[in-house]
Amino acid sequence: MTTFALVPGAGTDTWYWGPLMWELTGRGHRAVAVELPCDDDGAHLEDYADAVVDAVKSGDGDPDDLVVVGHSFGGFTAPLVCDRLAVRELVLVTAMVPAPGESAAQWWAATGHPEALAAQDAKDGRDPDDVVALFFHDVPEQTANEALRHEREQSATAFEQPWPRDGWPDVRTRYLMCRDDKLFPSAFVRTMLARRLRGTVPEAIPGSHHPMLAHPARLAGALLAR
């Protein structure tokens, strides 16, 4: 049995992982959705990583087989867990890949994201204020509306903190790239990985920026592929 620690992105809660947890537990695995202290101005990235550890250890102690899954801004937290627990694999799901000493606030300009997003918006004809079209365009309307109700405040503390590792951990890392992601378009992701995680080839899966809501069964299948 594999334990999957599910690390959310900015300003989201455990609700987002519900459909994926159902898929993973239904296949005989343990899924732990982590509640990060994202609305706590006193919490730093190290506290986020500690929250992952506490969630994973609750009930069963240290798991024998641990996979840490980081979504979006969760890419800044997931690698830090490797300094605290024995992790078999890191899986980044349409996630940010930090550089040493770089904050999440700096990441956007450093990776060329504003230009990539502007090009994608022009291609799609999206109103920049339409967050549903950006994040949830392939999610059922009722689910998208519920997702918006589960948004949390994201403190700037962790977002503006320099990433505290000197480099990427020596742990097998996979990147699941969502084909229909408007926030992190495929061409942008490929360029980012080529510069920051050389040798990691993105694996394309269906879905927008929240595949755990749009295609949970497909995402579970990708996570379980070895």
Determine the pLDDT at residue 226.
73
pLDDT tens, position by position, 141-159: 999 999 999 989 999 999 9
- % of residues, the chain, pLDDT over 90: 91
pLDDT tens, position by position, 41-97: 999 999 999 999 999 998 666 788 999 999 999 999 999 999 999 999 999 999 999
Helix (H) or strand (E) holding 93: strand 89-93
CA distance 12 to 153: 8
Domains of the chain, residue spans: 3-224
Q: pTM above the 0.85 mark?
A: yes
Query: b/e for 52-69, b at 16 or more Cβ within 10 A?
Result: bbebbeeeeeebeebbbb
CA distance 142 to 157: 32
In the block, residue with structure tokens 């519920």? 146
Burial zone of 124 (CB within 10 Å; 0-12 exposed, 13-18 middle, 19+ buried): middle
Q: Which CATH architecture has domain 3-224?
A: 3-Layer(aba) Sandwich (3.40)
pLDDT tens, position by position, 165-177: 999 999 999 999 9
| CA nearest neighbour of 67 among 20, 112, 104, 110 | 20
